[in-house]
Amino acid sequence: MKLPVGQGISNMMNMKGPWELALMSLMPLCTNLWWYMTSYAIFLLFLPFLQEGIRKIGQKAHGSLAAVMLVIWGFAGMLYWPQMQFNLTWSNVFVFIYWFVLISYYKWYMKEFSKSTLWKMIGVSLTVEFVYWAGFSLLFEATGKYADGQKFIFDQFKLPTMVIGFAIFLLVKDVHFYSRAVNWIAQSAVSVFLIHFYPPVYVWWTQQLFPLHEMYASQFPILSVLGVVALVWATCLVLDMVRHVIFQFTFDRNTGALFDRVYAAIARAWERSKDKRAARAQAASEHGSEVTNGQVPIADAA
């Protein structure tokens, strides 16, 4: 059943109405409007302290911490039981801390993996994901239950997916090339995320425009979802290109000019406030001096 956009927003964000959404939009980092941005910003605040602290505990303690995290959130997290999350949810800053502990140990203390090792890591991880998907697909066909199990292992925080992403990153980190087309598209990467994941937009395209629950049960679910992803990405990209053109003739026409005007106005107001406070302080000082010398003003004596 298709949900109205307003109802979908309330169900997704647990909000009371559009005014609360507007307020959240004014303070997106504080209200977790986009979980990734909020978590990443908080992680950047913690990062200097995390880096210094983890370095000081040494290799042995760092390795133990990484092993504990892998056992709890890595291997135990692969057990299919939706209630067993170990507090590592999809909108939590601990995701970034988890990744930082693992990646920093590799970078600081381990030898770099060879390309053959990285390809093996990708192959093993893909095999694990295929086994999970095939097993739960057969179980669903036989019992009509555990439909969510078919996509359980593909969560971005599951160990196989993390290993695949990590291995791909290491494979391409030393590959250098320049492409104007890639740079042109990359400048809109964050905008595509912000547009498609904005609550009303997300609910609209996942529940009304392209009901994902129907696609998962369609005859060609993978092709259907890939087509939707490509279409949504292209649409968001075009919208951001339009924004670039508008900004080019408005805000970016004189880069920094608006900020400079606002800053100058605040600076002038601050200077006026300082002058007023200084004048009041001087007047109070002169008044106190007159009282001390016995020269009490007539108005005060009366």
**To 5 degrees, how large is the angle CA 214–CA 215–CA 219?**
110
pLDDT of residue 289: 62
Distances (CA, A) of 60 to 54, 67, 100, 199, 245: 11, 11, 16, 44, 53
Q: What is the mean pLDDT of the chain?
A: 82
Kindly state the average pLDDT of the residues 272-290. Answer: 77
pLDDT digits (tens, 9 = 90+) for 17-62: 777 888 888 888 888 888 888 889 999 999 999 999 999 999 999 9
Distance CA 295, CA 287 (A): 9
Share of the chain above pLDDT 90, in %: 30
Helix (H, G, I), strand (E, B) or coil at 80: coil
Q: What is the pTM of this model?
A: 0.69
Distance CA 105, CA 54 (A): 9
**pLDDT, greater one: 140 or 84:** 140
Statement: residue 8 has pLDDT above 70: no
pLDDT digits (tens, 9 = 90+) for 184-241: 888 888 999 999 998 888 888 888 888 877 777 777 777 888 899 999 999 999 999 8
Kindly state the average pLDDT of the residues 141-160. Answer: 82
pLDDT of residue 111: 93
